[in-house]
Amino acid sequence: MPIRCLIKRLKRHATLVHVKDYRALASFVQENVLGKKPSKYQLCTALNCCAKTQNSSLGSQIHAKIVHIGFDQNLYINSSLINAHVKCGSMGDAMKVFRGIELHDEVSWTSMICGLSQNRQGGKALCLFKEMLATVVRPNCVTYVSVISACTEQESVYRCGELLHAHVIILGHESNNFVVSSLIDYYSKCGRMDKTVVLFGSCISDYVVLNTMISAYNHNQQGEEALKLFRKMLDENVNLSEHTLTSILDACGALTVLQQGKQVHALVTKLGSDYNTFVVGALMDMYSKCGNIDEACHVFDLASYKNNILWTSLITTYAQSGRGVDALKIFDHLLMEKRFYPDHVCFTIVLTACNHSGLIDKGISYFKKMITDYNLAPEIDQYACLIDLYARKGDLKSAKKLMEEMPFYANAVMWSSLLSSCKEYGNVELGTEAAYKLFELEPHSPAPYLVLADIYAAAGLWNRVQSIRKLMDENGIRKSLAGWSRVEVDRMR
């Protein structure tokens, strides 16, 4: 089969690459591309396939061939090579190729920026973008899509999406739906639904923009709005993708609307989307949030292909049904069998399960194992879990030390953990520091004021309680529960 036909077939199965195609591709490339001197075009096409099928060993063989033939300054080939390495997660190799390019164009820059962004290295992506701005090569809308999505990664100084939005407006990229989707996603993850709604209202939406909007509502606890939009999509016969189904199941779970969740399940079966692990994971999540753990497990059992995502979903199912100990048993069992490679998401679930089950020391040892046994650099979410573990144990010193020494800026979740534990263990000094940090980070939230007042009251510091009340009045903070978001109430525990 000619290589172009193979690509067409692979594109048709964007999510699930057929094993048959994959084997055919690998042997085709080995025989016809690596055997004799391939053309530049063939090499690009072959690398494109390596990227799509995440065939890292073939990618490396082609890389060697490129160097051997001497095509290593061709920008088309280098961009494809960067992309292939990136899609296989070989960031070091991608960066070597990138740095070896003598004269860059916007595609080679964008390939690397995008690669960093897709591999959870948003900070580095932004640095590279700044480096690009200092050259004569100008970013285009594809570059902006990559760099904006890099900003959504974590709450920190990297969050300069608004500045990038301004660039986009000036350069006239605002009508590009890829750009619009990345901006909607960015603003929704910053809690800026006002901006999100304006962007959505002023674009000619396609199915990806609609999917992004549904997940924006989900991120901001507006499941009803997500369902409304989904119904509109059904009425207007908009193409439903696996992303749509995953997000809408998420909304059903958050709202615990089992009947509607079941209807979506029927739709999943009808559309034949039950091969997709994200959809299956979302179904399990929906059932377990609706309290139907048996059905969640049943969905898992029926899944023909069980990968890391689905195993993580199973652990999540038990963890969020209050069966943290069982969740950890499954996790330990999978680790022993060595057919499971836990990732960051999985460790977050496991650490949270430890926390909720009161298994503090076990959680701390998992965190260490994550680094030593699985070679994973902890991200902000796992640090937040560890800080919470120390804080709940009453080891406030270690929690604080970690917040100072970790490679991220401490966020509101961490300061809230610390503040709650200060209340629990009666630490006035640290509690004051944590609360004042939260006043800055979340200026409209009444929670830290009230917790700090509780800490002062428990310590008999009535003057200070009075001063907090005064401060609330001065800053216009309302005390009633009605105005609080669900997140704030949850954090108060």
Partner DNA sequence: GTAGGGTTAG
What residues make contact with DNA under the rule CB under 7 A? 15, 39-42, 44-45, 48, 51, 74-80, 83, 105-108, 110-111, 114, 117-118, 140-143, 145-146, 149, 152, 176-179, 181-182, 185, 207-209, 211-212, 215, 241-244, 246-247, 250, 276, 278-279, 281-282, 285, 308-309, 312-313, 316, 343-346
Sign for the CA dihedral angle at 116, 197, 175, 165 comes to: negative
> Residue 293 CB, nearest distance to DNA (Å)?
16
Q: Which of 176, 107, 171, 114 is nearest to 148 (CA)?
A: 114
Residues in the chain: 493
User: In which residue are the tokens 């025989």 written?
Assistant: 31
Q: Which is nearer to DNA, 118 or 222 (CB)?
A: 118
Structure tokens at 262: 């079941």
Could you please report the per-residue DSSP string of 60-99? HHHHHHHHHHT-TT-HHHHHHHHHHHHHTT-HHHHHHHHH
Q: Which is nearer to DNA, 241 or 382 (CB)?
A: 241
Q: Which is nearer to DNA, 134 or 482 (CB)?
A: 134
> Residue 161 CB, nearest distance to DNA (Å)?
12
> Residue 309 CB, nearest distance to DNA (Å)?
4
The secondary structure element, H or E, covering residue 366 is helix 360-372
> Residue 12 CB, nearest distance to DNA (Å)?
14
> Residue 451 CB, nearest distance to DNA (Å)?
29
Q: Which is nearer to DNA, 260 or 427 (CB)?
A: 260
> Residue 444 CB, nearest distance to DNA (Å)?
25
Q: Which is nearer to DNA, 27 or 175 (CB)?
A: 175
In order of 57, 304, 343, 471, the CA distances from 311 in angstroms are 26, 13, 11, 48
> Residue 244 CB, nearest distance to DNA (Å)?
7
Integer Cα distance of 95 and 92 in angstroms: 5
Three-state secondary structure call for residue 363:
helix
Integer Cα distance of 121 and 458 in angstroms: 44
In order of 3, 78, 283, the CA distances from 25 in angstroms are 7, 21, 33
Q: Which is nearer to DNA, 114 or 412 (CB)?
A: 114
Integer Cα distance of 233 and 252 in angstroms: 16
Integer Cα distance of 474 and 6 in angstroms: 67
> Residue 252 CB, nearest distance to DNA (Å)?
12
Q: Which is nearer to DNA, 370 or 468 (CB)?
A: 370
Q: Which is nearer to DNA, 26 or 44 (CB)?
A: 44
Q: Which of 290, 340, 281 is nearest to 314 (CA)?
A: 281
Q: Which is nearer to DNA, 147 or 447 (CB)?
A: 147
In order of 130, 168, 170, 199, the CA distances from 139 in angstroms are 10, 10, 13, 22
Are 26 and 55 contacting, i.e. CB atoms less than 8 angstroms apart? yes
> Residue 334 CB, nearest distance to DNA (Å)?
12
